[in-house]
Amino acid sequence: MAQPKLRFRISQSPVIRYGLAVLSVSVALGGALLIERLQLRNIALFLFAIAVAAWYGGTGAALLALLLSCMSFAYFFVEPSHTFYISRADIPYFILFALFAWLVSWFSTVRRRVEADLLQAHDKLKIEVSERSSLLNLTHDTIFVRDMSDSIRYWNRGAEELYGWTPEQAIGKSSHELLRTVFPSPLDDIQAEFLRTGRWEGELKHTRADGTEVVVSSRWSLRRDEHERPVAVLETNNDISVRKRREQEIESLNQELAKRSTELEAINKELEAFAYSVSHDLRAPLRHIAGFTELLHKKASTLVDEKSNHYIGLILDSAKRMGNLIDDLLTFSRIGRTETQKTQVSLAQLVREVLIEVRQDSEGRNISWKIGALPDFYGDRSMLRLVLVNLISNAIKFTRTRAQAEIEIGCADGNKDSLVVFVRDNGVGFDMKYVGKLFGVFQRLHESAAFEGTGIGLATVQRIIHRHGGKVWAEGAVDNGATFYISAPKSQGQLWRP
Amino acid sequence: METMNKLGRILMVEDDPKDVELTLIALQDYNLANEVVVTRDGERALDYLYCRGEYKTRPSDNPAVLLLDLKLPKVDGLEVLKQIKSDEKLRMIPVVVLTSSKEEKDMVASYKLGVNAYVVKPVDFHEFVNAIKELGVFWAVINQPPPGSVRK
């Protein structure tokens, strides 16, 4: 802001102020008398004296100067001279003079008041700016002010620290040129939006004094004057280079992950092809072994000895067992590969179906069934059916030695997040020592001569329940029955309705 | 069998000679084996159906049923099925897929192409024999084939 060249200040002392009035009128009178001598009547000198008195002495001095001027004028210049007598005809002149004088002193007073206000405002602004500058210097943020022609007007310490230019080096330069700003969109578009809304936020790329690049999150606010004309831009920048780098790292990690995922998908496809091939190609030779051994048995059973017939029987048994193994393994692998198709499944209905399916296994047996109220389950129907088939046929199988088998299927009290369904039997049970082995593939806790099986059933159960977000566990004691539990969370899409 | 003395001809498309032998043994019990024509790949099966190549001189009637394996050399089973079901003259021939594959996608693909039955060959010999017998009796004897099929 330009400093005023003259400083107008009303003197504090009344003596000086009123003395000034007397002095200025005296000088005017002297001048007037001199002019009078030269036959030049001029009252302008007195007006000037009043103006001077008003300017430097204030209203009181102006009034005194007016009074003295009138008296001097009446005494020296109005006929009869050297008296204070004023004829009636002269009175309008005096009134006119007084009016002029009042006008002059009023102008000067107003002017001075404006001047004083201006000075005060200027001083206040100076204090404010210095206060704010020091405050703005405290912040870690980078703040600078540029005018509408992009010339930097203010540059805080944060800006110096971030970019490496001192305020002296930066102020007056074009900010976009100095910082080699790279904008996210054309500058004209940004500028248009900024002028419309008065604000802009975005990411900018700047180049520091040392030539390194920095990415900043930039916020612009527009400052307008009292006529709403844009005058300056306050730009606040935050260094987000680190964040940006992290984002890029995350991005590259994501890409890596996507690559891995594609690879996994390819491996999965290969696995699928493998399983398909196992399904088709392994089964065919097995069928031939079983088929032709059977034919051999038919034709040769009467010709060969008992031992040979026994061997033929063993071949047939093994072929059959291998067929079952292949089927169970395929089922197990298919659960991992296929998508679950979830619907609302009534477990009560499903249990009824499964009981019909396993009827063959329980023929001629004395089994007392106890089926409790069962909830609805949101899940894949065919998979859940497999779970029940496995658990129920296990219960039938392992109660075989019981004269009176008892099998209970029901819904146990879970906590508020999950509900639990169990299958309990009074069969041969198992040793809790081996409970960890129960759900593993090919893990069997009974010799196959006593209880046939492939050792894949419970692993399949576990895999299905895990795919539904649930848990499986078991309790048992040797010769004292076993209970198998399956649970699923009530939240996460599972709907239970007891 | 008095009322069902007319036997339909069975076209069997199967590349594995052991499977062919087992199937023929199973069909022998009902004297169905004599009416079985075997082709070893999909291309020959189509040659038979279109009376071309080595089957150029055969009478131009359709088989009563086609037993189709899926995994075949040259033209695979699904392709054969697709060609049959999209041909105006052949689409009426009942096609039974007889395969080792339990894969759901094969099943779905076959039914989408309009297969008449899908049978997974049982590993167990007795089950296998029973399945083949039932198939043979049903399609070659009980089922009334579409006009233009061979009856003896």
Chain A residues with beta carbon closer than 8 angstroms to that of B121: 283-284, 287
Is some CB atom of chain A closer than 8 A to the CB atom of B109? no
Model confidence at A485, pLDDT cuts 50, 70, 90, reads: very high
From chain A, the residues in CB contact with B101 under 8 A are 276, 279-280
pLDDT at A498: 44
CATH match of B10-141 with 2.60.260.20 = no
Q: Provide the pLDDT confidence category of residue A374 given band limits of 50, 70 and 90.
A: confident
Q: Which residues contact A142 (CB under 8 A, 6 or more apart)?
A: A156, A158, A159, A161, A162, A163, A216, A236, A237, A238, A239
H helix runs in B32-140, sequence order: 42-49, 77-85, 104-112, 125-137
Give the range among A123-127, A145-149, A489-493, B135-139 with minimum mean pLDDT: A489-493
Mean pLDDT of A71-76: 80
pLDDT for A11: 59
Q: Is the pLDDT of residue A494 over 50?
A: no
> Measuring CA to CA, which residue among A392, A396, A394, A390 is closest to residue A364?
A396
Q: Are A430 and A498 in contact (CB under 8 A)?
A: no
d(C-alpha A82, C-alpha A59), whole Å = 29
| Of A56 and A164, more confident | A164
CB contact (8 A) between residue B124 and residue A327: no
The residue type at A335:
I
**With an 8 Å Cβ cutoff, are A323 and B124 in contact?**
yes
Q: What integer pLDDT is reported at residue A414 of this predicted model?
A: 67
Q: What is the pLDDT, as a whole number, of residue B6?
A: 57
Give the pLDDT of residue A254.
94
Please, are residues A200 and A220 in contact by the beta-carbon 8 Å criterion? yes
Interface test with A, best of B98, B123, B130 (most A CBs within 10 A): B123
Amino acid A219: pLDDT: 93
DSSP state of A89: G
Mean pLDDT over the full length of chain A = 83
* DSSP states along A262-301: HHHHHHHHHHHHHHHHIIIIIHHHHHHHHHHHHHHHHHHT
Does the beta-carbon distance from A291 to B128 stay under 8 Å? yes
Quick one: pLDDT band at residue B7, thresholds 50, 70, 90?
low
Question: Does B85 touch chain A if contact means CB atoms closer than 8 Å?
Answer: no
Query: Going by C-beta distance under 8 Å and a sequence separation of 6 or more, which residues neighbour residue A288?
Result: B18, B19, B22
- Contacts B108 to A, Cβ<8 Å: none
> Is B100 at the interface with chain A, CB within 8 A?
yes
Residue B55 backbone phi and psi in degrees, to 5: -105, 20
Mean pLDDT of A22-35: 81
Rounded mean pLDDT of A168-193? Answer: 90
User: Is the distance from CB of A128 to CB of A149 less than 8 angstroms?
Assistant: no
Task: Look at A20-24, A42-46, A360-364, B52-56 and tell me which has the smallest mean pLDDT.
Answer: A42-46
Residue of B nearest to A276 (CA): B103
Within 31-60 of B, beta carbons closer than 8 Å to A belong to none
Least reliable range by pLDDT among A36-50, A268-282, A286-300: A36-50
CB proximity B25 to A under 8 Å = yes
Nearest residue of B to residue A295, measured between CA atoms: B125
The whole-number average pLDDT for the span A12-33 is 81
Q: Which residue has the higher pLDDT, B59 or A408?
A: A408
The per-residue pLDDT for A492 is 47
Tell me the DSSP string of B8-56: BPEEEE-S-HHHHHHHHHHHHTTT-GGGEEEESSHHHHHHHHTT-GGGT
Chain A residues with at least one Cβ partner in B under 8 Å:
276, 279-281, 283-284, 286-288, 290-295, 319-320, 323, 326-327, 330, 334, 338
pLDDT at B12: 92
Helical H runs in A301-440? 306-337, 347-357, 381-398
**CB–CB contact A292 B101 (8 Å):** no
State pTM to two decimals: 0.51
Instruction: Give the least confident one: A73-77, A427-431, A457-461.
Output: A73-77
Residue A125 has pLDDT above 80, yes or no: no
In this structure, is the dihedral angle defined by the CA atoms of residues B14, B17, B22 and B26, taken in order, positive or negative?
Answer: positive
The predicted pLDDT at position A10 comes to 57
What is the arithmetic mean of pLDDT over A327-356? 84
Cα gap A322→A380, rounded to integer Å: 28
Q: How far is B124 from chain A (nearest CA, A)?
A: 6
Q: What value, to the nearest 5°, has the Cα angle with vertex A63 and ends A60 and A66?
A: 150
Name the band, by pLDDT with cuts 50, 70 and 90, for residue A6: very low
Q: What is the percentage of chain A residues whose pLDDT exceeds 70?
A: 92
Does A167 score more than 70 pLDDT? yes
Q: Select A140-239's CATH number: 3.40.50.300, 3.30.230.70, 3.40.50.2300, 3.30.450.20.
A: 3.30.450.20
Q: What is the pLDDT of residues B67-116, one digit of tens each?
A: 999 888 888 899 999 999 999 888 889 999 998 877 778 899 999 999 99
Q: How confident is the model at residue A449 (pLDDT cuts 50, 70, 90)?
A: low
Closest chain B CA to residue A320: B124
pLDDT at B5: 44
Strands B65-68 and B10-13: parallel
E strands, A165-273, where? 199-207, 213-224, 230-239
State the DSSP H helix or E strand holding residue A153, giving kind and residue range, or none if neither: strand A152-155
Query: How many contacts does A have with B, using Cβ atoms within 8 A?
Result: 58
Residue of B nearest to A293 (CA): B125
Answer with the residue of higher pLDDT: A3 or A450: A450
pLDDT tier for residue A493 given thresholds of 50, 70 and 90 = very low
Q: Is the pLDDT of residue A497 over 60?
A: no
Nearest to A284 among B16, B103, B126 (CB): B16
Which CATH code of 3.30.300.90, 3.30.565.10, 1.10.10.10, 3.90.79.10 fits the domain covering A339-489? 3.30.565.10
What ranges do the domains of chain B cover?
Answer: 10-141
Mean pLDDT of A122-138: 76
Question: Contact A283/B16, CB-based, under 8 Å?
Answer: no
Q: Is A178 helix (H, G, I), strand (E, B) or coil?
A: helix
- What is chain B's mean pLDDT, rounded? 84
ipTM of the complex: 0.78
Question: Is the model's pLDDT at A209 over the cut of 50?
Answer: yes
3-state secondary structure of A226: coil
User: Can you read off the two tokens belonging to residue A248?
Assistant: 């890029």
| Residues of A in Cβ contact (< 8 Å) with B122 | 287
Most confident of A124-128, A142-146, B34-38: A142-146
Spatial distance between the Cα atoms of A243 and A250, rounded to a whole number of angstroms: 10
What percentage of residues in chain A have a pLDDT greater than 90?
19
pLDDT band per the 50, 70, 90 thresholds, residue A164: very high
B101 CB within 8 Å of a chain A CB: yes
Mean pLDDT (whole number) for A32-52: 72
